[in-house]
Amino acid sequence: MRRAAGKQPTSTWLAEAARRRLRAEGLLGVVGQWEKEHGEMDDAELAAAAGKRRRRGRR
């Protein structure tokens, strides 16, 4: 953990990791609810979403 934190205090790194995890879990919940209502996202929809993220400069 110390190596992963680099120059950050370990507590800061842990807090940020927890925040990322909670955000990811929240997003999975949103996607799961959407899929219950509309059906699973297909490959074309996922590719379109990935393309939008790349154009916005996100990973």
The domain limits of the chain are: 2-55
In 1-59, where does DSSP find H-type helix?
2-5, 10-38, 43-55
Q: Band of the pLDDT at 2, cuts 50, 70, 90?
A: confident
Are the C-beta atoms of 41 and 35 separated by less than 8 Å? yes
For 3-55, the pLDDT digits (tens) are 888 888 999 989 999 999 999 999 999 999 999 999 999 999 989 989 998 99
How far is 12 from 31, CA to CA, in rounded Å? 29
Q: What is the pTM of this model?
A: 0.55
The secondary structure of residue 8, as a DSSP letter, is S
